[in-house]
Amino acid sequence: MSREPLRVLAATSNRGKLTELRSLLADLPIEVISLAEALPGAPPVVEDGETFLENALLKARAAALRSGWVTLAEDSGLEVDALGGRPGVRSARFAREGATDAENNAALLSALAEVPDERPRARFRCIMVLLDPRSEGQPVVTEGRCEGWICRQPRGAGGFGYDPLFVVEEFGRTMAELGEAEKNRVSHRGKATLAMRAALDALIARRREAGPPGGGG
């Protein structure tokens, strides 16, 4: 029976997301491996899905196929009601392809400039996918949401992405103003990860019983 930590490939090149996943899974016997560590030089996945689920599955399947490792992928974004759900799946590239966080935040505020509501309703959504190349079953899919609204001036120095503009309903503070523990408890990614824990626990138990394969993670 193997007691080695389970290596899980996090199918993201976003350093902020990688840091959050490692924090959220720190109490489990899991070693979270980045794409840069596992697949250096691998071409980026074209995220051309129309939904968060489609994009998460694209990333999970590509990374699992190339690595042969258990893979955890997610796609997430910001949905603003006054903008018809935008930026949605284009959250990371709302301003342009390869946009910085500052550019995307500026684009969001510009898009909301003519919206009279001073607290435009919004939510962060995350769809997470767990894929085990050794299993013939379907990928495990979980979802997390965080409700709130958009403020008109950035607040806070933490987080990344739209965190300085997104006010969490529960706290009345932006994501960027929350401490790590607070954010992990209420964030869309934190909730999706919490919902995934049962599947991860079961996978860890199966791997420990089966022992290591001839290779892979």
Residue 213's pLDDT is 54
Residue range of the domain that includes 140: 6-210
Task: Say if 217 falls within a structural domain.
Answer: no
Residue in the block written with tokens 């560590």 = 37
Residue 132's pLDDT is 94
What total number of domains does the chain contain?
Answer: 1
Task: Say if 23 falls within a structural domain.
Answer: yes
Task: Say if 76 falls within a structural domain.
Answer: yes
pLDDT of 126-185, one tens digit each? 999 999 998 877 899 999 999 999 999 999 999 999 999 999 999 999 999 999 999 999
Task: Say if 1 falls within a structural domain.
Answer: no
**Residue 28 in 3-state DSSP?**
coil
Q: What angle do CA 79, 84, 89 make, to 5 degrees?
A: 45
Residue 214's pLDDT is 43
φ, ψ of residue 40 in degrees (nearest 5): -60, 135
Task: Say if 192 falls within a structural domain.
Answer: yes
Residue 110 is inside which H or E element, if any? helix 101-111
Task: Say if 147 falls within a structural domain.
Answer: yes
Q: Are strands 70-80 and 121-131 parallel, antiparallel or unpaired?
A: antiparallel
Do 177 and 154 form a contact (C-beta atoms < 8 A)?
A: no
Residue 62's pLDDT is 95
Residue 206's pLDDT is 86
Residue in the block written with tokens 């408890």 = 185
E strand spans, 29-184 = 30-34, 70-80, 121-131, 140-150, 166-168, 173-174
Task: Say if 179 falls within a structural domain.
Answer: yes
Q: What is the CATH number of the domain that holds 66?
A: 3.90.950.10
CA–CA separation, 195 vs 155, rounded Å? 29
- Residuewise pLDDT in 10s, the chain (217 residues): 457 899 999 999 889 999 999 999 999 999 999 999 999 988 889 889 999 999 999 999 999 999 999 999 999 999 999 999 999 999 999 999 999 999 999 999 999 999 999 999 999 999 999 999 988 778 999 999 999 999 999 999 999 999 999 999 999 999 999 999 999 999 999 999 999 999 999 999 988 877 655 444 4
Q: Which has the closest alpha carbon to 135: 197, 69, 195?
A: 69
Task: Say if 134 falls within a structural domain.
Answer: yes
CA–CA separation, 31 vs 9, rounded Å? 8
CA–CA separation, 198 vs 112, rounded Å? 40
Residue 211: left (phi > 0), alpha (psi -120 to 50), or beta? left
- The one catalytic residue in 75, 117, 132, 201 is 75
Do 68 and 111 form a contact (C-beta atoms < 8 A)?
A: no
Establish whether 75 is a catalytic residue. Answer: yes
